[in-house]
Chain A
Amino acid sequence: MIKNILNLGDAALYCDFGDDVNKEINSTVIKYFQTLKNEKIEGINNLTPSYNKLIISFDLKKTNFKKMCKIIENISINEKDSLSSNRIEIPVCCEENFSLDISRLEKKLKLGRDKIFDNFFSKEYFCYMTGFIAGMPFVGDLHNNLRAERLETPRVKVPKGSIGITEQFANVYTFESPGGWNIIGNTPKKIFNNKKELQPNLINPGDIIIFKNIDLKEYNDYSE
């Protein structure tokens, strides 16, 4: 449930579901998100669910913080709304030229690269949220011994398709973008389709992601 509602500026609500990051809290956030999305409440411009927060931005010409608070406090959540739960396989090539931070990770994690890749590919991951850049999925949770801090100085350009890890999470850079995550591989799969208005994202919150290790030949021969 929502623990606290604050204002984020004069045109957004900051709904706080606590500090922990786990599937249970995240599922509650997503349920609020889905209920509000379906209700199509006048004045809401955007809903941004994340691990444990929901930001609701609104049109200050039509409503205000007080009015929106009242609506959110009195909303009843539709428990029946189920999360998306597709199983999606993402092929990843960890060849030297794609695995930009592997040497750095070996040092940071005090693990050999084979062990890092074994641990990474042996788990299934849960999608907590999408965003930052269009279609970017944030999935978790990584094996305990793969948890590393972000790069001290973020890259100005992370290549499209890069798979990054930081703390308990992994992500996929859907297009070239600045970013500070440790890059361990690259996928040839299209994760975001800028021309597909109804379903531009391949991966949505609630989905289960399986990363599959592929070699360079499979990467180069990949077609969808």
Chain B
Amino acid sequence: MTIQNENFFKIIRAGINTTFQDLGRKNLYHIGIPFSGAMDNRNYLISNKLVNNNLDSPVLEFAYQGPLLKYYGDKIVISITGDVNFEIKKSSKTFIGNCYESYIIEDQDEINILSTKKSVYGYFSVGAQFDLEFYWGSCSTNTKAKIGSNDGNKLIDGQKIKLKKTNDDLTKKNLDYINSSIEKIRVLKGTNYDYFSEKGKKSFFEKEFLVSKLTDRMGMRLEGATIENIFDTNIKSEGLVKGVIQITSDGNPIIMLSDHGTIGGYPKIGVVISADYDKLVQLFPGSKIKFQEIELSDAETLFKMYEMETQKLISQI
């Protein structure tokens, strides 16, 4: 449909950390640019499918409290995924929305994303193309490096988000899905596993850790038992990947997340398996977790199962 009038959202309240995200950027670690992209990949893909978008379309990711948006323009489909409280206001009627269900909104409607429940991230997708700039093939916003759409910044109160092209297909869709959370995070031994004392290794796999408040898109800091290092609390700086668990000089674990520094100098005790990543990022501060050691072949099998389940969910929409 060619748009006669301008279609846009007015951001009445931006929320805590609302950014544009997609699948992220590849092949830039060597110059220090991280992967970025939606933290919870499965919920990102599902949110696009619910509004008949290509699966790699940009969406709005929010953390804890989401935005309050007012819409101006032609009818479009929207959806919200994750574990989120939200309301939709149509003329004078306000109703509570359900995640994993798409809604048709029209001129002057408001969407109020109040909060995530027992999780951190949620996704807001629209059956349209956001009018965005792409850098290195991605719209993903990295607010620390000021890279990506919206000049590398999170959304602010009062700003406008324009839409370029709206989807013709206004079919409403839904998915029967509940976000489960996990308490056991499965990990593979890291390349510096032997830097730690027997007691330290034992504490790492047996003690409970608390997700601290110092957690964002770059990393998740944990509190609990300190892990004793018997070799060196620094290594010569080297590359990192998503999910690496470093032990800092003070003995506490920090897990690398999607906007992580590409190089680091703390010893790596373990790496979270790919299949558990989506669930890991959704653990909010104060959550209790335990690490469980598994083997590489099991991690690969678990990823295949995770991937099959994701594809199955998408095909059900």
Contact = CB atoms under 8 A, between A and B. Distances in A.
Contacts of A52: 236, 238
A33 B30 contact: yes
Q: Looking at chain B, what size class is its interface with the partner chain?
A: 35 or more
A136 B29 CA distance: 12
B239 A53 contact: yes
Interface string A186-224: 000000101101001100000000000000000000000
Contacts of B237: 50-51, 129, 132, 138
Given A133-B32, A175-B145, A194-B152, A46 B303 contact: no
Contacts of A133: 32, 144-145, 261
Contact of B135 (A65, A136, A197): A197
B241 A50 contact: no
Contacts of B303: 10, 60
B104 interface: no
B274 A60 contact: yes
Given A132-B261, A134-B147, A10 B31 contact: no
B263 A50 contact: yes
Interface in B218-246: 234, 236-241, 243-244
B145 A10 contact: no
A130 B30 contact: yes
A131 B145 contact: no
A10 B273 contact: yes
Q: Looking at chain A, what size class is its interface with the partner chain?
A: 35 or more
B33 interface: yes
B272 interface: yes
A121 interface: no
Contact of A177 (B144, B263, B271): B144
B100 interface: no
A200 B273 CA distance: 32
A28 interface: no
Given A8-B268, A61-B307, A129-B263, A134 B241 contact: no
A136 B249 CA distance: 22
B91 interface: no
B190 interface: yes
Given A10-B303, A134-B147, A197-B136, A57 B29 contact: yes
B285 interface: no
B274 A130 contact: no
Contacts of B146: 175, 194
Given A8-B190, A132-B264, A134-B145, A48 B29 contact: yes
A9 B152 contact: no
B4 interface: no
Given A14-B191, A129-B237, A133-B144, 13 more contacts: A7-B188, A8-B190, A8-B241, A33-B30, A45-B26, A46-B29, A48-B30, A53-B239, A57-B241, A64-B300, A134-B31, A136-B32, A152-B249
Interface of A: 6-12, 14, 19, 21, 33, 37, 44-55, 57, 60-61, 64-65, 129-136, 138, 150, 152, 174-175, 177, 192, 194-195, 197, 200-201
